[in-house]
Every structure is written in C-alpha cells, then in structure tokens.
Amino acid sequence: METISWHDFEKVELHAGTILEVVDFPEARKPAFKIKVDFGPLGIKWSSAQITKHYTIEELKGRQIIGVVNFPEKQIANFMSQFLVTGFADENGDIVLASIDKRVPDGSKLI
C-alpha cells in the first residue's frame, strides 16, 4: 500500500449530505440508483450509486451519506454524476454505504 501525506489527504473533500430524492437508473450497465443529495452550503448534487442490493428507494430518502465532492463530473450512460458516493464492498462485492451514525450539518467536512 502506498502511503500519502496529510496534505494529500486534505485535498479529498469528503462531506456529509442528506439524500433528498432517489430514482431508478435503468440506463446504467449495472443496477443503480440516481440520488440527489443536499450538501448544505456546497449545494445540491446528483450521483449514481450501485447500491440496489442493500437499499430500497424508500429507506434511502432522508439518510445522511458521505460523498467526495471535488472530483470532476463523470458521465455515466446519459447522466452526469457530480460527486462520488462512498461505501464498502461486502463479501459478494455489493456496496454498503459508508454511514454517519449521528446527524451532522449537511456540508460538514470529514476531518
């Protein structure tokens, strides 16, 4: 594993946001949702997330997640993803969201 400096880590903008809306994303190659997240002062952003194995649309709404907000936008099928949803692969390779266990202000930076 390559080590990085503290300065390198500080460049990654990991922020808390609340999921406002979730819709199916049938155009994606792998099953995914489009999610709309409020990052407080950083604005409202959309992303695609391959999290359909562990989550339903209903249980995602209102949940806080951690997103990387300083990557350039990325086109996924016919959709522009504006941030990266963070998570971990389970034993089957399905994604489990990185989570926040107590509510924090939207836009809070991971430190």
Distance CA 14, CA 26 (A): 28
DSSP the chain: -----HHHHHTS-EEEEEEEEEEE-TTSSS--EEEEEE-GGG-EEEEEE--TTT--HHHHTT-EEEEE--SPPEEETTEEE-SEE-EEE-TTS-EEE-B-SS---TTPBP-
In the block, residue with structure tokens 């969201």: 97
Q: What is the pLDDT of residue 8?
A: 93
The CATH number corresponding to 12-97 among 1.25.10.10, 2.40.50.140, 1.10.275.10, 3.90.1170.50 equals 2.40.50.140
pLDDT of residue 17: 98
Average pLDDT, consecutive stretches of 10 residues, N- to C-terminus, the chain (111 residues): 94 97 95 97 98 97 98 95 98 96 97 88
Q: What pLDDT does residue 33 have? A: 98
Give CA angle at 81 (110, 76), nearest 5°: 135
The predicted pLDDT at position 97 comes to 98
Answer whether 0.75 is exceeded by the pTM: yes
Give the per-residue pLDDT at 81.
Answer: 97
Q: What is the pLDDT of residue 68?
A: 98
